[in-house]
Structure 1
Amino acid sequence: MTPPKRWLPALSALSSLSAFLARSSMTFIACLLAGCSTWQPPTGDAVTALRTRAETTSKQGVTLRAAVLSRADSDRMFGIDIQGTGVQPVWIEVENASARSMILLRTGTDPDYFSPLEVAWSVHSWFDRKTNARMDEWFNRQGFHNPIPAGATRSGVVFTNPSRGTKLLNVDLLGDQTLIAFTLFLSVPDDATHPDFSRKLFAYPPAAVTDHADLGSLRAALERLPCCATDAAGQGVGEPLNGIVVGEVADFSAAMIRRNYRRNQQDFDNAQRVFGRIPDAVLRKQAQAGAPATWIRVWLAPISYQGRPVYLLQVGRPVGGRFAAANGTQGAALLHGDVDEARNLMVQDCMYSEGLEKLAFVRGPTPVPLAQEQATFSGAHYHTDGRRAVMFFVLRPLSLSDIDILDWEPIVEGDAHARE
């Protein structure tokens, strides 16, 4: 018997709760086997190794160092394996040589970050309150603590949701009338030798990239880019390419983290090929109860604008939208036909990300009316007004009123419906 659709949100939430309880039960059993009741605070030095391999960057008198903890690092720092809890600890050190006191904004790093006491609770023993209290105190001590006074250095752990292969770390430091934004790409040590997660971001040799010095020539080049992806053989028609980003990948990625997008590349994403490649990266917006929402597949294009790279995007949503998770993987993989809606929702996310400098629309895929939907090699069908969103990103922060709307192609929501 198929449950009514109105039950799906509750069923999705129940499924997520069941998964959490299952993880907690496994953690509890592991704790029993490992002897959580005999847990003691570690006495070794866990920080020196992290500082040695940390990525480092400096800006406006502030130096940032950061590294993702491996399982061995976690054991040295916390005295217990916390990787099974679904949390990825990141060590961060801020050296503040500026004249201002600074505060690290954890929600800028991960809108769904975990507190130290949440993580400690996940490895508690059920029968030893004294040990649990010691764990709470120790985990809380290892967390990152604000503020960072002028001339001081602070370090600690921020507990984030996991990323595989490479973690894009966004760190926002707030001072008096000042925001210093950092973006780092951190290797995930436990994935370093895994074939599915060790792939580097694609880069063209400089001679293969055509740079455009003005907006007019850039617009013409953008309209000549491929309309759609293909299958691996280059024969089957794939999903439409309906978005473009102009700017550094760090600026775009950091902006999207603020809108709850995370890097998440699935096997079915790799069926879509552009320039003969699988996606260079895939971002997914996490919705309520962990359901999938908008996805953004990204390919570096062989063009640039005033030295800034250009990325071609495939923006879509699964059939069923945020209810797709309740229907299994097949629904979560199949493209919803209204790709313009997915594109427009993503544009609005970009507007609120505080990183969007300019917005325009150009001609892209062939317009497809609702009454004559285009089939893809994966079995999906879509309709579109045939326009691509072009988004120029810079370092944050920018307000909505700062966005420059370029007068290129007009856009009307529902235009593909109107052409039936």
Structure 2
Amino acid sequence: MTEFFRSFPIFAAILLAAGGCSKTPPDPAVREVFEARAITQQQGPVTARAAVLADDESERYFGVSLADKGMQAVWLSVKNDIDGPLYYLPATTDANYYTPPEASRIFHAWWPGEADRQRGSFFARQAMPEIIGAGQVASGIVLTHREGGVKFVRAAFVGAGEQFEFRFVIQLDRKLYAAQNIDFNALPKATENVDLAGLRRKLEELPCCTSNKEEDRHGDPLNLVIVGSGADAIFPFIERGWRLDEPLDVHSILRTVGAFVFGTEYTTSPVSPLYVFGRPQDIALQKARNSISLRNHLRVWHAPFTFEGHDVWVGQISRDIGTKLTTQTWSFTTHRISPEVDQDRYYILQDLLLTGEAYRFAFAGGVGVSSPINPRTNLGFDPYVTDGLRLVIFLGPQRKPAGQVEFIDWERPSPR
């Protein structure tokens, strides 16, 4: 084992050097396939369609493996029936989207030739136009970060003094690691609907923590509750830069190894499964810094009860502050969490208040106090301290300034 760790960086570098070398001529015929399965939405005079290219489709379409670079192609089509031009805002689809020249440069050979120049021209021609004239239909590709299981696609357009925002939930057919192939219609059905007092009681009765698959060890504390219906409870996170994890496959393995070896950024690296209600998380989201070792991440589970007809999502949020060696994972590494998990709870409250979609919040009991003198530990044996409360955030479609958000005085966090 010691010899393995000594040679691991060299082994990883060889794998990384070998990855991403495949280049073939682009195949525009693939377009018919993903266009045929596009989802359509309409808002007044604007109609939008969206599809996400699978890894193999994007490789055939562009002639290079986008997945090797952590990229994912989203196809959009827009019909503009307003009286004037419509302007597309690609940053709403991905705040860090790749421009055609940037993508072309990423895939250039060390000594660019005619094939690279043609590919660069192809990237440019396939890009989604930023201006759609009155009465016109425009379509094209937006290059985003790669995710697995499901893709939450936002696309906003402005024109005639209005903003039109479309939200698509697109299933991805591929092997997964932590996140599921989320079908909001196929999640376990709630068996009980409660009022506000009943919600508080239900939250206080939940387990304190996540667990392992065998349910014989406690993991991270269940310190977060989101009340919101279906995908509308997830899109505020997407708006604030939270990203779903990638599937565990050859592309993510190579990127994970490289990020650990070289200490580089990897904003969608796979996360390990934790268990609540007898199943792994329904959705895992993360917001990374410029190193794979540093990130905020959260997991949520659809609860078996609703609040006044709205879905309830029970979750945990923590902050990764480093890595350590372990024999319990495929990469021989795991993250260390910050022991002050209540600070991470406060971070997500700020993030969702800034979206304007939070209209009330509260704190409920149920986690149990974990003190610096006698801390609890998660499945990775990392200690954590908490005042024992769960943050409860209610999300709604009507945006509200942070100063007008209602505070329900169930419990109050202990001053630190």
TM-score under structure 1 length normalisation: 0.79
Cα separation, 2, equivalents of 1:84 and 1:267: 15
Going from structure 1 to structure 2, the CA distance change for 1:413 and 1:257 (only over 3 Å counts) comes to farther
Going from structure 1 to structure 2, the CA distance change for 1:194 and 1:412 (only over 3 Å counts) comes to closer
Amino acid at match of 1:233: E
Aligned to 2:143: 159
Amino acid at match of 2:239: R
Cα separation, 2, equivalents of 1:135 and 1:267: 30
Structure 2, unpaired ranges of 5+: 1-8, 247-268
Structure 1, unpaired ranges of 5+: 1-14, 415-420
Please point out which of 95, 103, 117 is paired with 2:79. Answer: 95
Going from structure 1 to structure 2, the CA distance change for 1:99 and 1:409 (only over 3 Å counts) comes to farther
Going from structure 1 to structure 2, the CA distance change for 1:181 and 1:80 (only over 3 Å counts) comes to same
Paired residue secondary structure (1:30): coil
Paired residue secondary structure (2:317): strand
Please point out which of 146, 158, 182 is paired with 2:166. Answer: 182
Would the aligned equivalents of 1:93 and 1:156 in 2 still touch at CA under 8 Å? yes
Deviation per CA, 1:55-104, whole angstroms, max 9, x where unpaired?
22223332221111234533554344444333111111122334564322
Paired residue secondary structure (1:269): coil
Aligned to 2:123: 139
Q: CA deviation at 1:389?
A: 0.8
Alignment of 1:94-243 (within 5 A): 94-99=78-83, 101-128=85-112, 130-189=114-173, 191=174, 199-201=181-183, 203=186, 206=189, 208-212=190-194, 214-243=195-224
Paired residue secondary structure (2:34): helix
Cα separation, 2, equivalents of 1:106 and 1:149: 17
Amino acid at match of 1:372: N
Would the aligned equivalents of 1:244 and 1:390 in 2 still touch at CA under 8 Å? yes
Aligned to 2:227: 246
Aligned to 1:375: 377
Aligned to 2:6: none
Would the aligned equivalents of 2:271 and 2:284 in 1 still touch at CA under 8 Å? no
Alignment pair present for 1:264 and 2:245: yes
Amino acid at match of 1:234: E
Going from structure 1 to structure 2, the CA distance change for 1:230 and 1:106 (only over 3 Å counts) comes to same
Would the aligned equivalents of 1:284 and 1:292 in 2 still touch at CA under 8 Å? no
Paired residue secondary structure (2:337): coil
Would the aligned equivalents of 1:294 and 1:316 in 2 still touch at CA under 8 Å? yes
Going from structure 1 to structure 2, the CA distance change for 1:145 and 1:339 (only over 3 Å counts) comes to same
Q: Name the structure where helix makes up a greater proportion of residues.
A: 1
Aligned to 1:86: 70
Q: CA RMSD in A?
A: 3.2
Aligned to 1:12: none
Would the aligned equivalents of 1:245 and 1:390 in 2 still touch at CA under 8 Å? yes
Going from structure 1 to structure 2, the CA distance change for 1:334 and 1:221 (only over 3 Å counts) comes to same
Going from structure 1 to structure 2, the CA distance change for 1:398 and 1:102 (only over 3 Å counts) comes to farther
Please point out which of 341, 345, 348 is paired with 1:346. Answer: 348
Aligned to 2:47: 63
Alignment of 1:392-411 (within 5 A): 392-395=394-397, 397-411=399-413
Cα separation, 1, equivalents of 2:180 and 2:65: 23
Aligned to 1:30: 22
Q: CA deviation at 1:209?
A: 2.3
Cα separation, 1, equivalents of 2:176 and 2:338: 32
Q: Name the structure where strand makes up a greater proportion of residues.
A: 2
Q: CA deviation at 1:313?
A: 0.8
Going from structure 1 to structure 2, the CA distance change for 1:178 and 1:412 (only over 3 Å counts) comes to farther
Which stretch of structure 1 is more off in the superposition, 230-239 or 74-83?
74-83
Q: CA deviation at 1:290?
A: 4.5
Q: Count the aligned residue pairs.
A: 379
Cα separation, 2, equivalents of 1:288 and 1:378: 23
Cα separation, 2, equivalents of 1:85 and 1:378: 30
Would the aligned equivalents of 1:201 and 1:280 in 2 still touch at CA under 8 Å? no
Aligned to 2:32: 48
Amino acid at match of 1:269: S
Which stretch of structure 1 is more off in the superposition, 236-245 or 100-109?
100-109
Deviation per CA, 1:360-404, whole angstroms, max 9, x where unpaired?
211221122221112344422221111111111223754434433
Going from structure 1 to structure 2, the CA distance change for 1:220 and 1:314 (only over 3 Å counts) comes to same
Cα separation, 2, equivalents of 1:131 and 1:106: 27
Q: CA deviation at 1:198?
A: 6.6
Paired residue secondary structure (1:260): coil
Amino acid at match of 1:295: H
Amino acid at match of 1:302: P
Paired residue secondary structure (1:411): coil
Cα separation, 1, equivalents of 2:104 and 2:282: 36
Which stretch of structure 1 is more off in the superposition, 156-165 or 142-151?
142-151
Amino acid at match of 2:377: A
Aligned to 2:282: 280
Going from structure 1 to structure 2, the CA distance change for 1:288 and 1:196 (only over 3 Å counts) comes to closer
Q: Percent identity?
A: 27
Which stretch of structure 1 is more off in the superposition, 221-230 or 86-95?
221-230
Cα separation, 1, equivalents of 2:332 and 2:161: 48
Would the aligned equivalents of 1:24 and 1:122 in 2 still touch at CA under 8 Å? no
Deviation per CA, 1:294-335, whole angstroms, max 9, x where unpaired?
1111111111122110000111122xx2xx259897774333
Going from structure 1 to structure 2, the CA distance change for 1:378 and 1:25 (only over 3 Å counts) comes to closer
Cα separation, 2, equivalents of 1:386 and 1:198: 29
Going from structure 1 to structure 2, the CA distance change for 1:145 and 1:204 (only over 3 Å counts) comes to closer
Would the aligned equivalents of 2:22 and 2:65 in 1 still touch at CA under 8 Å? no
Paired residue secondary structure (2:132): coil
Going from structure 1 to structure 2, the CA distance change for 1:268 and 1:186 (only over 3 Å counts) comes to closer
